[in-house]
C-alpha cells in the first residue's frame, strides 16, 4: 500500500541535528527518562530540578537501569560511567540557558509551562530550540508566552522513555520548518522514531489510545472479564506487548485521568471522559506501579 502524496515535495533530511547539549526541565519520571536517553546517545545533559532529593533519587535510578544493562552484557562498565557523567543535575533554570535544545518536562499545568518558556525565551540564544514534552496541552498556547514562538515545538516522549521508541514532533501554529526539521533530526540522533504531527489535542497516539484505554476500564468495571483476561486479550489478540490495564498502571492512573480530562474539554466526546471507576481509584490513592497498587498489586 502506497501512502498518499505529501503536500511538500522535499525529502526530510537525515543529517545529524548538530545538537550536543540538551537541557531537560524537570527530573521526575519523564525528565529523568529523557535525560537518560540523551546521555546514552552521547549528549551532555543539564537536568534542571529544584528538589535536591528528586535529583539524587532519579540519578540513582538511571544508574540502576544502566547497571542492569551491564549485568546483561548490553554495555560495559566504562560506558555506564560515561553515560552518568554526561548528566549534570542542577537546581536553577538559568543553568539551561546555554543548551542548544531545551526539553520541558514539568507538571502538566499551562501556567507553569508558560512561565518556564517565558524565562527560557528571554535567556536562551536565538537559535536554541525550545520543546515541551506535554502529552495533552496546546503547544501553540505554550509558545504564545515567547517572543520567538517559531522556535517552539513539541517533543512528546512516551513513558518509559528509555524503552519506548516513539517521539511525536509537534508543529505548533507558528513553529518554523527549520525547527521541525532540526527537532526531527535530533530524535533520530538519539535513536528514536519520530513522527511529525499538528498541534491537535492528544496529537496522534493519545487521540487513538485514550478512548481505547477508557473502554478497557469500562469493560472491567462492568464485570465482563478480569483485568488479567482483558490484558491477555490485547496481548494475544491484538499483538500488544502489554495489556491496556497494565499499561495504565505503568503510566499512572492519575496521569491518564488528567489526560482524559484535557481531551474531554477539547472534544466533548464521551469516549474521552475518564470512567468513574478510574476516578475513584485515583481518589483512593491507587495510582498504579508508583503507588504499589492499581489494577494489579505491586506491593510485593
Q: Which residues are catalytic, by number?
A: 135, 156, 168, 206
Q: Please give the Cα distance from 154 to 196 (Å, whole number).
A: 10
Give which of 99, 78, 77 is closest to 88, Cα–Cα.
99
Q: How far is CA 157 from CA 55, 242, 275, 280, in A?
A: 20, 18, 25, 28
Euclidean distance between the first and final Cα of the chain, in Å? 48
Give which of 129, 178, 116 is closest to 20, Cα–Cα.
129
> In the beta sheet, which residues pair with residue 20?
none
Burial class (CB in 10 A: 0-12, 13-18, 19+), 283: exposed
Amino acid at each position: 500500500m502506497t501512502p498518499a502524496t505529501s503536500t511538500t515535495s522535499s525529502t526530510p533530511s537525515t543529517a545529524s541535528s548538530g545538537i550536543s547539549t540538551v537541557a531537560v526541565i524537570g527530573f521526575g519520571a519523564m525528565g529523568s527518562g529523557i535525560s537518560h536517553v540523551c546521555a546514552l546517545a552521547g549528549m551532555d545533559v543539564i537536568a534542571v530540578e529544584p528538589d535536591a532529593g528528586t535529583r539524587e533519587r532519579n540519578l540513582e535510578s538511571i544508574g540502576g537501569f544502566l547497571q542492569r544493562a551491564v549485568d546483561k552484557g548490553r554495555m560495559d562498565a566504562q560506558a555506564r560511567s560515561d553515560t552518568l557523567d554526561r548528566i549534570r543535575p542542577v537546581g536553577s533554570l538559568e543553568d539551561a540557558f546555554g543548551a542548544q535544545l531545551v526539553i520541558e518536562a514539568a507538571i502538566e499545568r499551562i501556567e507553569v509551562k508558560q512561565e518556564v518558556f517565558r524565562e527560557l525565551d528571554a535567556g536562551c540564544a536565538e537559535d536554541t530550540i525550545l520543546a515541551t514534552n506535554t502529552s495533552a496541552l496546546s503547544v501553540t498556547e505554550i509558545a504564545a508566552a515567547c517572543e520567538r514562538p517559531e522556535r517552539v515545538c513539541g517533543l512528546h516522549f512516551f513513558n518509559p522513555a528509555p524503552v519506548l521508541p516513539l517521539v511525536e514532533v509537534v508543529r505548533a501554529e507558528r513553529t518554523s520548518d527549520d525547527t521541525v526539521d532540526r527537532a526531527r533530526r535530533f530524535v533520530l540522533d538519539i535513536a528514536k522514531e519520530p513522527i511529525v504531527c499538528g498541534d491537535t489535542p492528544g496529537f496522534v497516539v493519545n487521540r487513538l489510545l485514550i478512548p481505547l484505554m477508557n473502554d478497557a476500564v469500562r469493560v472491567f468495571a462492568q464485570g465482563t472479564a478480569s483485568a488479567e483476561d482483558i490484558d491477555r486479550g490485547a496481548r494475544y489478540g491484538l499483538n500488544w506487548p502489554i495489556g491496556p490495564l497494565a499499561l495504565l498502571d505503568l503510566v499512572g492512573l492519575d496521569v491518564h485521568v488528567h489526560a482524559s480530562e484535557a481531551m474531554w474539554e477539547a472534544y466533548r466526546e464521551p469516549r474521552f471522559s475518564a470512567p468513574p471507576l478510574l476516578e475513584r481509584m485515583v481518589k483512593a490513592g491507587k495510582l498504579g506501579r508508583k503507588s504499589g497498587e492499581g489494577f494489579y498489586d505491586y506491593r510485593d
